[in-house]
Structure 1
């Protein structure tokens, strides 16, 4: 979908922009207050994020502005540099650095953030919003509005502030907050939610009216300025812009400014990439935002903020979430919020200063409750431990510290699980039944680091004496030199000493170790001659089991092509149906040159098909003939349907060759029922019985019509077997050999 607002989304986007503005206004002021910067600097950052960054970003739903996570860093840097003007120079440089990061595609870092950590970020922000806004809801406002850190500037923390708020409630704020909260919940559960009017605007308007009405109830109910939004009031537009500070150009070459710029660049970029991933997960349309373009957009935004006197900005989850909840679908939501910030702060600051903080706290509590959805937490709980533990660590880390520290806690825990997995499963050991005998395949993982050395050593020492083994590195992308040296030592010393025939695959192209294949993975004359018919049948049974359990043998087909280029010595002949779902080499997990495959509709013993079978067994020396039928066979079901008709019509003349096929299958139908079947008797069970009888009938025909094959069976050189392949689950059911025998 285009990022541009379509006519049918304009109203929703504009309405959502109003909602975002109402939340962003106190947040911009709060971040500026906590940063020790002029209050207008927070407003400027919000305006730039809405008016400029919205159109440069590739995100449809992200809203940018001053971030609470940067407040502490900004405060420290302002104190270190000695002035806010010097810090603005650092913000300008940080913007340039972010543009460079975007150009060199550093946004690819976003792909390495685990989804468990991103979901933990969303839940933690939601829980923190609820906990932090409860004091504001009841009129306890010593902490700045929008603070997301565990430790507050007033000396309290998230939990102690709740206790203090319980003993310092303001009656008027409690009334406004609870009514606002109730209205928001009521609005969401009634047809009112379909109105283009945002619920938050109604709540704020109602909050202003209630605050005015409370003035008549006396001083105990009156909401003073400490409980209201506090926008700086300028006498004129000219005074507003005159009050904006400018960067100190003389500080451009100060090394402390460079360090501050690098710090802001790293923190703002990380926070932006994390929040961008989180916002994309909230987007109902699941659109993906380009991270490199976002870095460039944020860089231009921060460059502009530094020049105009604004705080550094990032993508912000809270504002983006409010926009999505209010129905915003395009970047117009962000743009409208920026215009309102600029216009109303310039033209109507007195009106804005009448908004109670308690009604805005109600808005953020509802937003937080949606972010910290119990459904999300339950879904993470039921997943594997390596998903839930990093998720929980991220949530706890953010709750007890701040956003960035909590993210690093979550990433560290996720990394520990990756290392644990690397230590635990750097290889997979699979026994294989190859035509030449049993082989133990040791398949290395994609990344084999020094942490894998102990596990690989244990796996190599566990190989039985005298066994055939292959170390398979075909899927390995990187291998630590220590691990490579371990393989070399095992090949040169331990394997020969213990009589292990060791093969190496996948080493020659990437590593200075020559591939060696010492096991037979194709049917050779020697393999065929020493195999008994029963062993060949067992080979097919085991192959079908591997196929059904999705554990096929890893084969080098090019090498098999080269090995069978001069001659072939198949072990078995499979007479099967032409059905596209019955690929015999696949369902029996065999390689090139292992089978003769004869295919004819209905797996019948046609003259030419029988000639092919005689060649494969009597001339080429195959040890097994398997007649393979299958469920839902078109030849069987069509013949049954034809016989079940009251007055069956003969086949058209142009299908005269098909009549022989129908006649052959019809004999199997008569073998199941003495009278023609009726349509209401044609069940799945009946069709299966006909399919099974058709396999037996073909086997009887083979013995009756071929003296050569009959002689091989009587001498024990050839085994005849039948089977039914189930096209729904991949299982081959082998028929009792006694039930397929016949007297010649």
Structure 2
């Protein structure tokens, strides 16, 4: 899902030409980031300005730090569901403390050189995580797109869809909001089919601008984004918010933020590296940069940040040469938020919901599920289980379940054991076991041994076993004792530990 077949050449060299190219690329990234920053904030249940603050920090602070040269950071759709749950359960003030703790934990992991190890996380778990996030995001934004209040849980969102569909076609206000949202999605889908020159303008900007213009020209009475101002939106966490970090529930949310934000950022870095031929990402430094960004966002009470593949891809495709384009995009966001805050207040919520429904659908790896099922069925099951668990329970529980399933699947595959029985002259039976004898394979192993005749001499050859765990060793010793007690011939075991 984060892969791309297109490879662009990016030299990373400076000069007047590079400066001009970086400036142009920064404008493109700014136009992509603007509606997404606002949309992610609104979907997360926080003021729209907090999304812009995170985007500004991602540009001006993280953009100036080493790590990945072309990756762009900001508020991401992938954390929307978790942020919404955190704000609902702990409050907006505690969100700043959670983001601050996330940043400090990322800094610690980066200093301990854990950045490279995040690449060891199962791809199926990451894809399942993103798929689950995408499904919950789509389900929630369908309610916003219809002008209705979205239920709190994923199951409630699913069960409420029939009633939502009825309201969407019978209520006048719902029909109007749905039409605006559907029109926004249609623009996003059809924009890719236009000629290349037309697509130089980012699709989200075009879709939101058209929706805003149509609703304003038609004088439609539709919910719009509420704006307070950038300075008023900054709410640093207080002492009570910081002390709440001692709660087990809050610490669990911090761990979930850290895991998801770090994994998404570093997987995005790997994808961006495949898009250009410039400097490669230094993963430990990138994790440190993300930690600095989230620490600053936490102090400002803003949304958590990750590297965002949509903005990063736009940055590379626009021809960025250095990290200056990332910094400049943050500067444009700051200028816009300070000079034109009222422009945000005319955007229809249904249009932003349409942008996020489209973004959520792209998080679900529909095209990859079929090939994955045919070639790696176990990975496909881990992906599906992670996604379903996130939809039906919560983000943290779904990710933990996915990681556990991935470990169990790997342990099952590694603990492959082969049992072969052959008869020698004189009636002696030789049972040869090869592979990794672990508790996971005990049922099959004991069934084979217990089916052996008790009146024949048996030789159990374990010399080719690579690993014999305690459970398997105990079970084999027990079987040998039972066989010796019940049979006429003793069992002979060939293994250093069982001799």
Change (3 A) 1:150 1:320: farther
Contact 2:59/2:326, CA 8 A, preserved across alignment: yes
Asked if 1:118 corresponds to 2:114, the answer is: no
Instruction: Report matched runs for 1:346-495 at 5 Å.
Output: 346-414=338-406, 417=409, 426-430=416-420, 440-445=431-436, 448-461=437-450, 465-466=456-457, 469-472=460-463, 475-476=466-467, 479-487=468-476
Change (3 A) 1:339 1:473: farther
Q: Residue 213 of structure 1 is aligned with which of 198, 212, 217?
A: 217
**Aligned counterpart, 1:584:** none
- Aligned to 1:443, the other structure's residue is in SS state strand
Change (3 A) 1:29 1:182: closer
**Aligned counterpart, 2:147:** 140
**Aligned counterpart, 2:3:** none
Contact 1:98/1:265, CA 8 A, preserved across alignment: no
TM-score normalised by structure 2 residue count: 0.74
Change (3 A) 1:9 1:20: same
**Aligned counterpart, 1:164:** 167
* CA deviation string 1:648-696 (max 9, x = no partner): xxxxxxxxxxxxxxxxxxxxxxxxxxxxxxxxxxxxxxxxxxxxxxxxx
Contact 2:39/2:355, CA 8 A, preserved across alignment: no
- Aligned to 2:419, the other structure's residue is in SS state strand
- Aligned to 1:343, the other structure's residue is in SS state helix
Q: How far did residue 443 of structure 1 move? A: 1.2
**Aligned counterpart, 1:698:** none
Q: How far did residue 43 of structure 1 move? A: 3.4
**Aligned counterpart, 1:31:** 44
Higher relative contact order (CA 8 A, sep 6+): 2
Alpha-carbon separation, structure 1, partners of 2:260 and 2:11 = 23
Q: How far did residue 349 of structure 1 move? A: 0.9
**Aligned counterpart, 1:232:** 228
Alpha-carbon separation, structure 1, partners of 2:139 and 2:45 = 21
Q: How far did residue 232 of structure 1 move? A: 1.9
* CA deviation string 1:166-197 (max 9, x = no partner): 43354654554444333333321131466432
Change (3 A) 1:293 1:284: closer
* CA deviation string 1:287-330 (max 9, x = no partner): 9976654543333223212333334x1427xx534654784787
Alpha-carbon separation, structure 2, partners of 1:458 and 1:377 = 36
Asked if 1:269 corresponds to 2:258, the answer is: yes
* CA deviation string 1:416-454 (max 9, x = no partner): 6557668xx6521257999xx997531132xx5444444
Q: Residue 258 of structure 1 is aligned with which of 218, 228, 246?
A: 246
Q: Residue 75 of structure 2 is aligned with which of 65, 73, 98?
A: 65
RMSD: 4.5
Contact 2:433/2:465, CA 8 A, preserved across alignment: no
Alpha-carbon separation, structure 1, partners of 2:396 and 2:13 = 33
**Aligned counterpart, 1:46:** 55
Q: How far did residue 39 of structure 1 move? A: 5.5
Alpha-carbon separation, structure 2, partners of 1:472 and 1:120 = 41
- Structure of higher CA gyration radius: 1
- Aligned to 1:191, the other structure's residue is in SS state coil
- Aligned to 1:353, the other structure's residue is in SS state helix
Q: Which runs of 5+ in 2 are unaligned?
A: 1-8
- Aligned to 1:386, the other structure's residue is in SS state helix
Q: Which runs of 5+ in 1 are unaligned?
A: 216-221, 234-239, 508-512, 517-744
Instruction: Report matched runs for 1:341-740 at 5 Å.
Output: 341-414=333-406, 417=409, 426-430=416-420, 440-445=431-436, 448-461=437-450, 465-466=456-457, 469-472=460-463, 475-476=466-467, 479-487=468-476, 498=489, 502-504=493-495, 513=497
Instruction: Report matched runs for 1:308-347 at 5 Å.
Output: 308-311=300-303, 313-315=304-306, 319-321=308-310, 324=313, 327=317, 335=327, 338-347=330-339
Q: How far did residue 214 of structure 1 move? A: 0.9
Change (3 A) 1:470 1:382: same
**Aligned counterpart, 2:190:** 186
Alpha-carbon separation, structure 2, partners of 1:54 and 1:162 = 43
TM-score normalised by structure 1 residue count: 0.52
Alpha-carbon separation, structure 1, partners of 2:143 and 2:240 = 44
Contact 2:102/2:257, CA 8 A, preserved across alignment: no
* CA deviation string 1:19-71 (max 9, x = no partner): 132112221244253xxxx6544433332234323454745546342732133
Alpha-carbon separation, structure 1, partners of 2:492 and 2:129 = 52
* CA deviation string 1:337-391 (max 9, x = no partner): 5434322111111122222333333333333343335322322343454233322
Q: How far did residue 264 of structure 1 move? A: 4.3
**Aligned counterpart, 1:708:** none
Q: How far did residue 463 of structure 1 move? A: 6.4
Alpha-carbon separation, structure 2, partners of 1:492 and 1:156 = 57
Alpha-carbon separation, structure 1, partners of 2:114 and 2:221 = 48
Contact 1:246/1:309, CA 8 A, preserved across alignment: yes
Change (3 A) 1:185 1:31: closer
* CA deviation string 1:596-618 (max 9, x = no partner): xxxxxxxxxxxxxxxxxxxxxxx
Contact 2:106/2:290, CA 8 A, preserved across alignment: yes
Alpha-carbon separation, structure 1, partners of 2:190 and 2:162 = 29
Contact 1:54/1:334, CA 8 A, preserved across alignment: yes
